[in-house]
C-alpha cells in the first residue's frame, strides 16, 4: 500500500469511530476485507488511527475539519506531509480536497491555533479539579505513544539473559531504572509475541508501573495471596515469579477474562488456583484489588477510552471501586495486607476512595500510598497498602 492508501483506510476507520463504532472492531473488519494488506500496512494504518485518537482535538483544529478526513489531514500536517500529495484522488488515495476544504485548512493554519487539550470538555474539567496545576501537562503526556515494556520471569531467567535472547531475534531492549524485572523494547516491539523468550514464558508484556507495584508488596513464602479482580492475571504472574513459594489464587467477576490465566501460568511455570466462585472468607494474608477504573493512566495505549468515557460511566466506576474494596477487605486475615490499586490518574478514583473506605471501617490503617505518574516508570498508577489490625 502507498502512504496515501494507508491514509484512505485510516479515514474510513476514523469516520466509523466518530459514528460510535469501536476502533479495534473497525481495524479488524478493515483487515479482513483487505487481505492484500501486509503486516506492515496493517501496522501503519493502526498507528495512524491510534495517533489520531490520541490527538483528535488537536488534529481537527489544525485542519479546521472535524470529520475523519480533517483529523487525518491534521495528522499529515503533524507528520510534515503535504495533504495535497496524500489527498490526491489518484488510485487508492483519499478523494482530493475540494475548494471548501482547502479554504478551511488554510484558515486554520493561518490562525496559528490556540492550545488544545485532547480531552472531552467535561473530562478536562475533571482533570483540572483532580490534578490542579498539572492537569494540562498530564493530558499532553497522554497524547504520546506508550513504551512497550516486558516483565522478565525471574523464575526462569535473568533480565540480562532475557535481553540477550531477545536481541538474538532482533528485539533490542533497555533496562528500566528502579524496576529490576522490567525491560523496555526499543527496537522491533512487534516481534515480541512470536519470539522464543515470549513463547517459552521467559518474558511477558507488562507495563513497568504494574511491575513496580508488585515490587512494593511484602510477599513472603507460604503466604496465601488473592488477586481480586485479576483480569488476565498479569499481576498474579508477576507476584508468583517474584515469590514462587506463596499460595496464589485469582478471581474475576468475568470468567472469560480470567480464563487465559491458566495457559499463561502454565507457560510461566507458575502455580495459580483459578477460583470458579467468588471468595467469601477471611483466609488470605494478602489481597490485591486492581480495581475497575477509568483507565486514564493507560490512555496512551487505549486512547479510545478518553472519548468513550462519560460522566455517568465514571460515577458507575467509582461506585464499583467502593464496592470491590469493601468486599476484598472482608477476605483479609487479621494482621494481613489489603492493596488497592488503579491505573488511573484521577484523585477521585484513588486517594478519595481510600479515605472514604477508612471512614467506614476501624480495622485498617494505611501503611503507604504511591502515586506513579506517567513515565515514572510507565503508565499512571496508584497504590495504597493497608494493614488489617484485627
pLDDT tens per residue across span 228-237: 999 999 999 9
Residues 6+ apart with CB under 8 A from 303: 50, 53, 54, 142
CA distance 267 to 270: 8
Residue 221 falls within a domain, yes or no? yes
- Mean of the per-residue pLDDT values of the chain: 96
Q: Helices (H), strands (E): how many in the chain? A: 18, 11
The residue range of the domain holding 299 is 209-388
- What percent of the chain lies above the pLDDT cut of 90? 97
Q: What is the pLDDT of residue 67?
A: 96
Residue 126 falls within a domain, yes or no? no
More confident residue, 112 or 87: 87
Residue 216 sits in the same domain as residue 350? yes
CA distance 390 to 385: 16
Q: What is the pLDDT of residue 229?
A: 96
> 268: closest CA among 179, 166, 152, 148?
152
Report the domain count for the chain. 3
Tens-digit pLDDT profile for residues 367-390 = 999 999 999 999 999 999 999 998
Query: Active-site residue 343, yes or no?
Result: yes
Residue 193 sits in the same domain as residue 225? no
Residue 242 sits in the same domain as residue 381? yes
Residue 295 falls within a domain, yes or no? yes
Whether pLDDT at 8 is above 90: yes
Residue 265 falls within a domain, yes or no? yes
| Residue of 143, 173, 343, 383 marked catalytic | 343
Q: Percentages helix, strand, coil for the chain, rounded to the nearest 5?
A: 50, 20, 35
Residue 187 falls within a domain, yes or no? yes
Residue 70 sits in the same domain as residue 37? yes
Residue 179 sits in the same domain as residue 306? no
Residue 128 falls within a domain, yes or no? no
The CATH number for 217's domain is 3.40.50.150
Q: What is the pLDDT of residue 170?
A: 98
CA distance 97 to 88: 7
Amino acid at each position: 500500500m502507498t502512504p496515501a492508501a494507508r491514509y484512505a483506510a485510516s479515514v474510513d476507520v476514523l469516520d466509523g469511530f466518530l459514528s460510535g463504532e469501536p476502533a479495534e472492531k473497525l481495524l479488524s473488519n478493515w483487515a479482513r476485507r483487505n487481505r492484500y494488506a501486509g503486516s506492515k500496512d496493517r501496522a501503519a494504518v493502526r498507528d495512524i488511527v491510534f495517533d489520531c485518537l490520541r490527538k483528535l482535538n488537536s488534529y481537527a483544529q489544525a485542519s479546521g475539519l472535524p470529520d475523519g478526513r480533517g483529523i487525518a489531514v491534521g495528522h499529515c500536517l503533524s507528520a510534515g506531509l503535504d495533504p495535497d500529495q496524500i489527498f490526491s484522488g489518484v488510485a487508492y488515495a483519499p478523494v482530493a480536497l475540494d475548494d471548501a476544504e482547502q479554504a478551511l485548512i488554510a484558515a486554520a493554519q493561518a490562525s496559528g491555533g490556540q492550545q488544545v487539550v485532547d480531552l472531552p470538555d467535561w473530562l478536562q474539567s475533571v482533570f483540572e479539579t483532580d490534578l490542579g496545576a498539572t492537569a494540562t501537562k498530564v493530558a499532553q503526556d497522554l497524547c504520546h505513544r506508550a513504551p512497550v515494556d516486558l516483565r522478565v520471569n525471574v523464575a526462569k531467567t535473568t533480565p540480562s539473559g532475557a535481553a540477550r535472547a531477545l536481541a538474538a531475534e532482533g528485539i533490542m531492549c533497555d533496562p528500566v531504572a528502579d524496576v529490576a524485572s522490567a525491560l523496555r523494547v526499543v527496537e522491533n516491539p512487534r516481534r515480541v509475541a512470536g519470539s522464543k523468550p515470549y513463547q517459552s514464558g521467559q518474558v511477558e508484556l507488562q507495563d513497568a508501573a504494574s511491575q513496580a507495584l508488585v515490587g512494593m508488596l511484602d510477599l513472603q513464602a507460604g503466604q496465601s495471596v488473592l488477586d481480586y479482580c485479576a483480569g488476565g492475571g498479569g499481576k498474579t504472574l508477576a507476584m508468583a515469579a517474584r515469590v514462587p513459594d506463596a499460595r496464589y489464587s485469582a478471581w474475576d467477576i468475568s470468567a472469560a477474562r480470567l480464563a487465559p490465566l491458566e495457559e499463561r501460568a502454565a507457560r510461566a511455570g507458575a502455580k495459580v488456583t483459578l477460583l470458579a466462585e467468588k471468595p467469601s472468607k477471611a483466609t488470605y494474608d494478602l489481597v490485591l484489588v486492581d480495581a475497575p477504573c477509568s483507565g486514564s493512566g493507560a490512555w496512551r495505549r487505549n486512547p479510545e477510552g478518553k472519548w468513550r468515557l462519560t460522566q455517568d460511566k465514571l460515577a458507575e466506576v467509582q461506585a464499583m471501586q467502593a464496592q470491590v474494596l469493601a468486599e476484598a477487605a472482608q477476605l483479609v486475615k487479621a494482621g494481613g495486607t489489603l492493596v488497592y490499586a488503579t491505573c488511573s490518574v484521577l484523585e477521585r478514583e484513588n486517594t478519595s476512595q481510600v479515605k472514604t473506605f477508612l471512614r467506614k471501617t476501624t480495622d485498617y490503617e494505611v501503611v503507604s500510598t504511591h502515586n506513579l505518574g506517567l513515565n515514572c516508570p510507565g503508565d499512571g498508577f496508584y497504590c495504597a497498602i493497608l494493614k488489617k489490625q484485627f
